[in-house]
Structure 1
Amino acid sequence: MAADTTCPYCYETFPVRDIMFRCTARPGSTGSRCKAERDPVLEERRGRRGELGPVFTARPRGQLAPCPTCQAVSTFRICPVCHSTLPAQFGMVDNRLIAMVGAKASGKTVYMTVLLHELMNRVGSADGIALMAADDETMTRFGADYQDRLYRNGELFHGTRPAGANDHRVDPLVFRFGVKRRRLLGTRPEHTLLSFFDTAGEDFSSQESVQLNTRYLANADGVILILDPLQLPGARLPARSDSGLPNTEGTDSPINVLSRVTSMLLPHRSDPGGRRGSGRISTPIAVVFAKLDAVWDTLDPGSPLRAHPPGGARFHTADSLDVHEEVRHLLREWRGGQIDQILDSNYRHYRYFGISALGNSPTPDSLVAPTGIQPYRVTDPLLWLLSEFGSVARQERR
């Protein structure tokens, strides 16, 4: 068990031994019961109101601990900082925090929804991957606010609410990711807790608003940066005529968003060592160019971005590197070379990806196209990050 861990809800880091418990507020072995009460810490940190069992510290027996007041055995382990109930086996399996960032209208929320839907349904069942919500709130929110809205109603999202509009609180979605790994004695599943933090584009429109998210990004294990290629001047003219063209300048431009995120990460996650790469950010960042369908017709027939991606529960390194170099080449054509310069100078581990979450441009009234949702390469960025963490095996050869 790791000495320190990070809460998947508030992103604060603390020693595992500091994990606290919450009483069940049901009768214990003595026949008495603790009275449910308000938790001011939970209200302040996460806006959760209502009456719950009191919080206590204990020397646990595994994941169980008796309340010192009523002796009722509790399985409700909570974060010592925000008092959120921690997922099952927290601190006993890998815990990875992933921040999704990007400019306003870059497609972050659509991408996250399609990615998780694919892992839970089509991709996961075929490739030995299992993804499930790690708590009831994630199960309810992802189903009603994300998956049903996009897949059942065909409606796009109007934008993630800025952190400042919710008293600086953001609620991540927490999932349990399982993959079958081959070992000497056969295959066995390995699990990782994944916390997805979807920031609003407005949260990266100024240096001041970036600071609202400092704790989340500084403690994230990996970053998925969503960029819209149509915000780059060289990609706009040859793009499909039905593609909505976003603004190319101002605070929401890809270069400005990347610059602000980089400036925020440098003081917290830069490598202080004396080896090669010193001073660069150690957090791996997947740079994802979304809405690939808008520029599909401009790609060469032999482009790796046109190739059918390999399947399976492994990360295919050779295919990914081919895509990486192809996107780097396209960046020069799209007049976005400054993006590559910033990444190469400031990050130790970065990788380019090209994806399409929907497969076609939405209708003018912000609905999914009549052809339906046809995602392309949406799992590549997450599998790369998981391979960097060691949670997913790599396939080095073709």
Structure 2
Amino acid sequence: MAKRLTCPYCYETFTARKILFRCTTRPSPTRKRCEAIRDEVLLERLGQRRDGGPVFAADGRRLSATCAGCDGVTNYRICPVCHSTLPVQFGMVDNRLIAMVGARESGKTVFMTVLLHELMNRVGERFRVSLMGADDATMVRFGKEYQDKLYDQGQMLIGTRSAGAQVNNQVDPLVFRFGVTRRRWFGDTAQHTVLSFFDTAGEDFNSRESVELNTRYLANADGIILILDPLQLPGAAELAAPGTLMPRTDDVDTPANVLARVSNLLLARDGGGRRGKATTPIAVVFAKMDALLHHLDPGSPLRAHPPRGDRFDIADSLDVHHEVRGLLRQWDGVTLDQMLENNHARYRYFGVSALGRTPTSDGRVAATGIQPYRVTDPLLWLLSEFRAVPRTRRRG
């Protein structure tokens, strides 16, 4: 059976042979030229009003095809379902779809922005990795709507629109091309992975009906980053440092309810999975840890930065995992741990801070600036699980 691929824009699945092509509309060697027309599929599926060359079928396993209308060769390969232009070498390199979910007020959008910024800069240099937008829309959107507002203007980012507010309930993901240089005995080699992130709104996990709007996205995700705010747990809220900007409590679902709905959806998809558990790896991220670090023991792994080096350190990650699991007892979060243990075969706890300091009451970054802490750990763990980044061996 042919391998099924998943579009990083609409998350529908298909085989490589089904990939379509779009004419370039440039003059061909025979001086013929196709006219640009409105793509009604793009408009209906993603709400994008865009003109382009005619779409035609050919062997999608190839990188190029000849348009019968003008005899011109094109390498514009497009999704057969939504007509988005697919990334270069799609289907020929790893394609990893990362779902980023969590309750409202958990800081998902800020976390995602700082995570990607760190991968493009400081952490990217450490791991010898590169991250670049896979399309013009991602490059422009990430720059103007995310990175510039947070880093240049110091503005906290507005929460994600609910999927119900999107065109035809579509989520507009950010798609990147992730590259890592691997050292081999015969010379360095480059390995590339397509990463697709969607930041789904908290409201989409406040009821079973709204969760179902995201079923396709979660069901086809290779990994999930679940962002939880520890300050929404009663035991942790009591420990918050003075001056911490606390999350709203009205009309905000609990971390346990959000996890329960995600777990139910994944269990239904897996049909029982491994030992009756969901098999999709899930990184459970407790954000805003800067508000709680003062209560931790001096030797806590959460008070240390991850070890240096160009490999994901498994031992350090497991130390953090066990530390967070112990803290859940203090935070009145034992229910979360029991749910994960009983329903998920592959999960890992993380404690991070995207900003390093609580924001101001008027929604701006603190005067000390952005000082991220362990913010890339969850994604690096997922990528190490996919063998997209190297990792150290386990202890013992």
Partner SS, residue 394 of structure 1: coil
On the 8 A contact 2:16/2:60 being kept in 1, the answer is: no
Q: Which residue of 2 aligns with 1:108?
A: 108
Task: Write the distance in 2 (CA, Å) between the matches of 1:5 and 1:269.
Answer: 18
- The corresponding residue for 2:80 is 80
For the Cα contact (< 8 Å) 1:128–1:312, is it kept in 2? no
1:33 partnered with 2:33: yes
What is the identity, as a one-letter code, of the residue corresponding to 1:174? V
TM-aligned CA distance change 1:249 to 1:61, over 3 Å: closer
1:375-394 aligned within 5 A: 375-394=372-391
Q: Note the alpha carbon deviations across 1:49-104, whole angstroms, 9 max, x for none.
A: 13211100113684111101111111110000110000111111100000000000
Give the residue type in structure 1 aligned to 2:120.
M
Structure 1 residue 251: deviation in Å?
A: 5.3
Residue 172 of structure 1 is matched in structure 2 by 173
Who is 2:307 aligned against?
310
CA change 1:176–1:313 in 2 (3 A) is farther
Q: What's the offset of the Cα at 1:247?
A: 4.3
1:94 matches 2:91: no
Q: Secondary structure at the match of 1:175?
A: strand
Structure 1 position 208, deviation (Å): 0.6
Instruction: Give the TM-score, by structure 2 length.
Output: 0.96
Q: Residue type matched to 1:363 in 2?
A: T
Distance in 1 between residues matched to 2:59 and 2:7, nearest whole Å: 20
Contact 1:305 1:323 in 2 (8 A): yes
Structure 1 residue 237 displacement after superposition? 1.2
The CA deviation string for residues 141-197 of structure 1, in whole angstroms up to 9 with x for no partner, is 000000000000000012101111123121100111111212231321211110001
Question: CA contact under 8 A between 2:114 and 2:354: conserved in structure 1?
Answer: yes
Within 5 Å, which residues of 2 pair with 1:1-398? 3-59=3-59, 62-167=62-167, 168-247=169-248, 252-272=253-273, 277-397=274-394
- How many residues in Structure 1 have an aligned counterpart in Structure 2? 394
Q: Deviations over 1:268-291 (max 9, x none)?
A: 13554xxxx422111000000000
| Segment drifting more, 152-161 vs 242-251 | 242-251
Look up the equivalent residue of 2:390 and give its one-letter code. Answer: A
> 1:343-373, CA deviations, whole angstroms, 9 ceiling, x for partnerless residues?
1111110000000000000001000000000
Equivalent residue of 1:364, what SS?
coil
SS of 2:143's partner is helix
In 2: Cα distance, 1:61 partner to 1:171 partner:
26
* SS state at 2:43 partner: helix
For residues 43 and 207 of structure 1, the distance between their equivalents in structure 2, rounded to whole angstroms, comes to: 28
Q: State the secondary structure of the residue aligned to 2:292.
A: helix
SS of structure 2 residue aligned to 1:183: coil
> Deviation per CA, 1:245-284, whole angstroms, max 9, x where unpaired?
2245865110011011111111113554xxxx42211100
TM-score (norm 1): 0.96
Aligned equivalents of 1:249 and 1:269: distance in 2?
Answer: 34
CA apart distance, 1:221: 0.2
Distance 1:249 1:48 in 2: 35
Counterparts of 1:205 and 1:44, CA distance in 2: 27
Partner deviation per Cα, 1:99-147 (whole Å, 9 max, x = no partner): 0000001000000000000010111123311111111100000000000
Identify the range of structure 1 (357-366 vs 26-35) with the bigger mean alpha-carbon deviation: 26-35
The answer (yes or no) to whether the contact 1:42–1:83 under 8 Å persists in 2 is yes
CA deviation profile, 1:327-349 (whole Å, cap 9, x unmatched): 00000110100001111111110
Letter in 1 for 2:211: V
- Alpha carbons 1:206, 1:251 under 8 Å: kept: no
Letter paired with 2:130: A
**Residue type at the aligned position of 1:259:** A
Q: Name the SS for the 1:315 alignment partner.
A: coil
Q: 1:268 to 1:294 in 2, by over 3 A?
A: same
The answer on whether the counterparts of 1:179 and 1:313 sit within 8 Å (CA) in structure 2 is: no
Shift of 1:26: 1.9
Contact residue 24 and residue 74 of structure 1 kept, 8 A: yes
**Whole-Å Cα distance in 2 between the matches of residues 69 and 219 of structure 1?**
35
Deviation at 1:396, TM superposition (A): 1.6
> Deviation per CA, 1:284-325, whole angstroms, max 9, x where unpaired?
000000000000101110101012211333111100000000
Instruction: Give the % identical residues.
Output: 65
Q: What CA distance in whole angstroms lies between the structure 2 residues aligned with 1:128 and 1:189?
A: 10
Task: Sort the Cα spacing of 1:344 and 1:61 in 2 relative to 1 into closer, same or farther, 3 A.
Answer: closer
RMSD: 1.6
Summarize deviations over 1:25-56 as a string: whole Å, max 9, x none: 12223222112111111111111113211100
Give the gaps of 5 or more residues in structure 1: none
Secondary structure, aligned partner of 1:386: helix
Runs of 5+ in structure 2 lacking a partner? none
